[in-house]
Amino acid sequence: MSLNAEQAQKYLAAMDIPVWLPKFVSDTTPVVMEQEMIPSLPTNVETKWDSLVEQVIACCKCKELVANRSRTVFGVGNRNAQLLVIGEAPGADEDRQGEPFVGRAGQLLNEMLKAIGFKRTDVYIANILKCRPPNNRDPSLEEATCCEPFLLQQIELINPKLILSVGRISAHNLLKTQIQIGKLRGKVHQYGEKRIPLIVTYHPAYLLRSLSQKAEAWKDLQMVLKLLQQLNNK
């Protein structure tokens, strides 16, 4: 899963931030480590995943969300992933397809991951909410609280080495804070009892509206890469 300078230049160009490439990438330095070889999930773990999917589909706790959703959006990706990406809630495209980050923001997220050597299928992607809020409004505290047990079970089953929190809503719910996202960036936080390292970055939808912040998001991605390398070298 290594990435040379020419490939990185291509992906960074798609993110409109090619000027940052020379500071971080060279032809002689691999961008990211190979994924560890991990055996297939044991049957009992597969059963837990299947049960959790069924629980999410059957959930009717948030009446407004249930009344307006087309389908639930559980999550997607490698269930043994080192990197877990957590966004806020499904949008219209996600609601139709039942998969997180599939619209324009999802395409940008894919390019962001490629820029540090990850394919979409290498990571696991989930959201704070499993249902789309009407008119893409922010999730309420009550809705996030209702959905939290599902996300906690996903995190427990995946047991990632690092969480990338994408966007304000995600960061505020995961870290239980109201601190501005700009002040949460650039630091390694700890999540949960296992104190899983967590890094905060801007939501791709925000980056599509605020092109000048893409360079800042690139710094966050470099933190992700560096920390994963350190964790894998322990």
Alpha helices in 59-180 (DSSP H): 63-68, 92-97, 104-115, 141-158, 168-175
Q: Spell out where the chain has E strands.
A: 76-77, 83-87, 124-127, 162-166, 189-191, 196-201
Taking residues 163-188, report their average pLDDT: 97
Does residue 154 belong to any structural domain of this protein?
Answer: yes
pTM: 0.83
Does residue 33 belong to any structural domain of this protein?
Answer: no
Q: How far apart are CA 151 and CA 130, in angstroms?
A: 9
CATH number, position 82 = 3.40.470.10
Does residue 134 belong to any structural domain of this protein?
Answer: yes
Does residue 60 belong to any structural domain of this protein?
Answer: yes
Taking residues 69-74, report their average pLDDT: 97
3-state DSSP: the chain helix, strand, coil percent, rounded to 5?
50, 10, 35
Taking residues 18-39, report their average pLDDT: 41
Residue 19 predicted with pLDDT over 80: no
Does residue 202 belong to any structural domain of this protein?
Answer: yes
Q: What pLDDT does 22 receive?
A: 36
Tell me what the pLDDT averaged over the chain comes to: 88
- Least confident window among 36-40, 61-65, 72-76: 36-40
Does residue 25 belong to any structural domain of this protein?
Answer: no
Beta bridge partners of 127: 87
Q: Which residues of 1-15 are buried (b: 16+ CB within 10 A; e: fewer)?
A: eebebeebbebbebb
Taking residues 175-182, report their average pLDDT: 97
For the segment 130-152, what is each residue's pLDDT rounded down to a tens digit? 999 999 999 999 999 999 999 99
Q: What pLDDT does 83 receive?
A: 98
How many domains does one find in the chain?
A: 1
Q: What pLDDT does 234 receive?
A: 80
| Structural domain for 174, as ranges | 48-232
At residue 114's C-alpha, the angle toward residues 123 and 42, to 5°, is: 20
